[in-house]
Structure formats: C-alpha cells, structure tokens
Amino acid sequence: MGELFKLTYSSALGLRSLVQLLSKATDEVPFLATPSSLEVKVLSPDKTSLMILQLPAIAFEEYVCDIDEFFVVATDELMKVVRRGGRNDGVSIELNKALRQLKLVLKNKKTGVERAFNIELKERVREAVPELSVELSVSVRILARDFKDLVKDLKIVGEEARFTYSDGKLYVKAYGYPKEYEAILEEGNPLVSISSSISKAEAAYSIAHLEMVARASSMAEVIDLMFDTDKPLKLELALETGGRVIYWIAPRTM
C-alpha cells in the first residue's frame, strides 16, 4: 500500500517558525491533510479567537496525499524536533497510522546526513470548526512591522483596543488608568491602503489576541485587516514561504 501522507519542506527553519506560531495558540496541533493542502484550525477554549493555517501543496518540495487524513500531535514534542533543524536542513514528514506515529527526517543539504525522529500521535476525534462567513465593511492593509509596533504601543496601556473608522482614517485607542493611547492611521501614513463601504464603524478587541497576530509579523510583509461595528476582526497574512494565516477575533462589548 502506498504512502497516505508525506511531504518535504525545503527549510527546517521555516517549519520551526510555523510551529512556534502554533505553539502560542495550542498545546496540540490538529492537522488536516488533503490532496490539495495542509491545514490547521485552532479555536481558543473560550471561543473568542480562531487561527487558521493553510499551506497549499505547491508550498512544499514534495507533497503526497491520496485521501483526507486527520492527525494530532503534541506541540511541545513537535517543537523539540524542529528546534534540532539548522539552516542547511530540509525536513520530510511522513504519517504512519499503523504505528500511530509522525516521522520527521532532518536532512542536511550539504552533507546528506539524515536524522530521524518519531512523534506519537494523540488519540483525538476530529472536531468540526465552523467556517466563518461575515461581511466586513472596512478593509485595511498595513505593513507587518507597523502592525507589530502598533500592538507594542497598545500593550503598554491596556487590555482592550478600540478600532474606529471615520473620514477615511483608522483610529486605534486603548485606555488604562492613568494612561491613554491613540493612533491615527491613514493611507500612506503608515497604511498601505484603507477603504470602507460605510461612513463609520467601531469595535473593540482583546490586545492579547492582537499580540498573538503580531508574533507572526516576521513571516509576512503585510497584514490585511477587516472589521465592522460589533463584528469579528479578521486578519490575514500571506506567508513569504507560501500559504497564509488567518485570525478571527471576537469583538468585546463596548
């Protein structure tokens, strides 16, 4: 019988960055491999945030998947292995459902030396994570480094960020006695672009969740941000290595 699921990723360091990103969101990584992509969906325990990692088959040097395969591994165990990868290493991953293991092979591209590790699969039932389909009126594109700086400023002041769109500008505020913070963002200063189908929108979101997105900023050049009055905030990052990360953050009561 042929392999059910196997992939080769050109950069062990790139994989390490992805696993580090996942480690901030979950203790266990639920992978769904399909013939066209590898996907991870993580819903926070309080259901206030959803992270989606999507890696298309073309993002890998090799990708073999005949049928949909769902498997779960402990994030810390996966992290221990990918941390062993160096800048000259590629990594191959193969699923062995008979032994209930995920095999990872780190191969040095210069010397050809291979190191193999096996991670035990978790006994988990696939839980359906609903697809979100929400119309959002305000769309903003911002450089990832500028978004990271914005979140750093917000974190100093409080726990909640208030987003307001008005007159072609984005106002972001945070309050925390005795401090207060406000950023006024517009196209070219520093936004790449901003547009809206309505005249005004306002919503509040957890800064802790925004900080989780900021941690991924080094993996993308820009972040697309969409929101609306009292609706979820959607943030999307196109990964430089291929694929994308999408975050949904539930609004807070203002």
In terms of domains, do 146 and 172 share one? yes
In this structure, what token pair is assigned to residue 151?
Answer: 């979140």
Residues 164 and 115 in one domain: no
Question: 23 with 52, same domain?
Answer: yes
* Segments forming the whole domain that contains residue 53: 5-120
Domain termination residue (choose one: 89, 120, 151) = 120
CB proximity list for 92: less than 8 A, separation 6 or greater: 6, 7, 8, 9, 62, 104, 105, 107
Q: pLDDT digits over 25-75, tens only? A: 899 999 999 999 999 999 988 889 999 999 999 999 999 999 999 999 999
Give the pLDDT confidence of 131-169 residue by residue, as tens digits: 788 999 999 999 999 999 999 999 999 999 999 999 999
Same domain, 103 and 21: yes
Q: 149 and 116 in one domain? A: no
Note whether residue 240 is domain-resident. yes
Cα 209 to Cα 65: distance, rounded to the nearest angstrom = 33
Same domain, 99 and 162: no
Q: What is the CATH number of the domain that holds 236?
A: 3.70.10.10
Per-residue buried b or exposed e for 109-124, using 16+ beta carbons within 10 Å of the residue's own CB: eeeeeeeebebebeee
Identity of the residue numbered 91: V
Assessment of whether the complete model's pTM goes beyond 0.85: yes
Q: Tell which wins on pLDDT, 171 or 4.
A: 171
